Structure 1
């Protein structure tokens, strides 16, 4: 299943505004799915369990469920609007902010820690 298909399923959740799925290195499994999520306004309490339950109810096979999620304020994008997935992967591996500063110079890092 491609990242696009996983993202499409995540976007069907009523409290998810944007989603980006990426492959993350894992010492035990080799690679796992990580999802970076922008919640709809007022719905920042999403959990990995809630998302897994939602995907299960939609009939998505377990092997396509994210093993980690990160709720973020925004996804980093190129000037043409594409999500910078390489930046998401790097940020997850180093536990660094996804976006170091917004246009006004304010820190706009992770928001919450990666939930496993």
Structure 2
């Protein structure tokens, strides 16, 4: 009974928190660039239209390249990126993030 309750609680909490996150209302980190937040919000809105996924993917990868501290954008790249087209740019951005973390911590 305890396992069932734990699993049910986990499912409900994940569903609750993901709804706010994917609506663009919740952000876990603050972007350095105000334009990054505007582009992130535009990507969230573009997710309502499947024909805009490619443009949304390019836009969010661009945000991560220009603002390597914006963790929410990195999270969204994981959902949107087409591996063959954006992996090189994504890896470069991740490397920048690692360097930034080493310098600042």
Task: Provide the TM-score with structure 2 as the length reference.
Answer: 0.25
More helix by proportion, 1 or 2? 2
More strand by proportion, 1 or 2? 1
